[in-house]
Structure 1
Amino acid sequence: MAAPSMAAALAASLPAPSAAPAPAAPTYEAIPASMSKVIDIEAEIPLTAVQVDGLVVTKIIKHSREAYGSTAHGILLGLDLDGTLEVSNSFALPSHASDDDDKSAKGVARYQAAMMRSLKEVQADDSIVGFYQAMTLGSFFNQTLIETQAIHQERLRHGGIVVVHDLSQTARGNAAFRAFRLTKAFFDAFKRNNFSTPSLISHRLTFSTILEEIPIKIRTSPLLSSFIETLTDATVRAPAGANPAAATSSAALPPSFDVLNLGTSSISRNLEHIIEAVDAYKTEEGNLGYLSRQIAREKARADAYVAKRKEENAARVAQGLAPLPEEDVSRLFKIPPEPSRLESMLLLGKIDAYAKSLEQTSGTGLVKMYGVKADSST
Structure 2
Amino acid sequence: MAATSMAAALAASLPAPQAASVPAAPTYEAIPASMSKAVDIEAEIPLTCVQIDGLVVTKILKHSREASSTTAHGLLLGLDLDGTLEISNSFPLPNHAGDDDDKTSKSIARYQASMLRSLKEVQADDSVVGFYQATTLGAFFNQSLIDSQAIHQDRLRHGGVVIVHDLSQTAQGNAYFRAFRLTNAFLDAYKKANFSTTSLISHRLTFSTILEEIPLKIRTNALLSSFLGTLAEPSPSSVQNAPPESATTSAITPSFSNLDLGTAGLARNLEQIIESIDAYRTEEGNLAYLGRQIGREKARAEAYISKRKEENAARIAQGLAPLPEEDVQRLFKIPAEPSRLESTLLLGQVDAFAKSLEGSASTGLVKMYAAKASSGI
Q: Same fold (TM over 0.5)?
A: yes
Amino acid across the alignment from 1:366: L
Specify the alignment match of 1:228 in structure 2. 228
Q: CA deviation at 1:248?
A: 6.2
- Distance in 2, Cα, partners of 1:35 & 1:202: 39
Over alpha carbons, which structure has the higher Rg? Answer: 1
Specify the alignment match of 2:282 in structure 1. 283
Specify the alignment match of 1:265 in structure 2. 264
Q: CA deviation at 1:231?
A: 0.8
Gaps in structure 2 of 5+ consecutive residues: 1-18, 32-39
- Distance in 2, Cα, partners of 1:271 & 1:176: 21
Amino acid across the alignment from 2:116: M
Verify the 8 A CA contact 2:173 2:257 in the aligned structure 1: no
Q: CA deviation at 1:36?
A: 10
Are residues 238 and 64 of structure 1, via their aligned partners in 2, closer, same or farther at CA, if it must alter by over 3 Å? closer
Verify the 8 A CA contact 1:233 1:249 in the aligned structure 2: no
- State the structure with bigger RCO (CA 8 A, min sep 6), 1 or 2: 2
Specify the alignment match of 2:70 in structure 1. 70
Specify the alignment match of 2:9 in structure 1. none
Matched-pair identity in %: 72
The worse-fitting range, judged by mean Cα deviation, of 252-261 and 207-216 is 252-261
Verify the 8 A CA contact 2:70 2:136 in the aligned structure 1: yes
Are residues 283 and 116 of structure 1, via their aligned partners in 2, closer, same or farther at CA, if it must alter by over 3 Å? same
Deviation sequence 1:263-288 (CA, Å, 0-9, x none): 11111111111111000000000000
Amino acid across the alignment from 1:370: Y
Verify the 8 A CA contact 1:169 1:175 in the aligned structure 2: yes
Q: 3-state DSSP class of the match of 1:326?
A: coil
Deviation sequence 1:18-38 (CA, Å, 0-9, x none): xxxxxxxxxxxx99555799x
- Distance in 2, Cα, partners of 1:132 & 1:121: 24
Specify the alignment match of 1:7 in structure 2. none
- Distance in 2, Cα, partners of 1:173 & 1:254: 13
- Distance in 2, Cα, partners of 1:265 & 1:220: 34
Q: CA deviation at 1:102?
A: 1.4
Amino acid across the alignment from 1:132: Y
Are residues 278 and 36 of structure 1, via their aligned partners in 2, closer, same or farther at CA, if it must alter by over 3 Å? farther
In the alignment, does 2:124 pair up with 1:132? Answer: no
- Distance in 2, Cα, partners of 1:77 & 1:351: 32
Q: 3-state DSSP class of the match of 1:43?
A: coil
Q: CA deviation at 1:229?
A: 0.8
Specify the alignment match of 1:303 in structure 2. 302
What does residue range 1-378 of structure 1 map to in structure 2 within 5 Å? 32-34=21-23, 41-238=41-238, 249-377=248-376
Are residues 320 and 239 of structure 1, via their aligned partners in 2, closer, same or farther at CA, if it must alter by over 3 Å? closer
Are residues 107 and 238 of structure 1, via their aligned partners in 2, closer, same or farther at CA, if it must alter by over 3 Å? closer
Deviation sequence 1:188-243 (CA, Å, 0-9, x none): 00001000000000000000000000000001111011111111113124458x9x
TM-score for the superposition, normalised by structure 1: 0.87
Deviation sequence 1:318-374 (CA, Å, 0-9, x none): 111000000000000000000000000000000000000011111110000111122
Are residues 284 and 176 of structure 1, via their aligned partners in 2, closer, same or farther at CA, if it must alter by over 3 Å? same
- Distance in 2, Cα, partners of 1:343 & 1:136: 19
Gaps in structure 1 of 5+ consecutive residues: 1-29
Verify the 8 A CA contact 2:78 2:125 in the aligned structure 1: yes
Deviation sequence 1:38-75 (CA, Å, 0-9, x none): x9645000000000000000000000000001100000
- Distance in 1, Cα, partners of 2:212 & 2:96: 27
Are residues 251 and 239 of structure 1, via their aligned partners in 2, closer, same or farther at CA, if it must alter by over 3 Å? closer
TM-score for the superposition, normalised by structure 2: 0.87
Q: What is the aligned-residue RMSD (CA, Å)?
A: 2.2
Verify the 8 A CA contact 2:208 2:348 in the aligned structure 1: yes
Q: CA deviation at 1:256?
A: 3.7
Are residues 271 and 36 of structure 1, via their aligned partners in 2, closer, same or farther at CA, if it must alter by over 3 Å? farther
Q: 3-state DSSP class of the match of 2:180?
A: strand
Amino acid across the alignment from 1:315: A
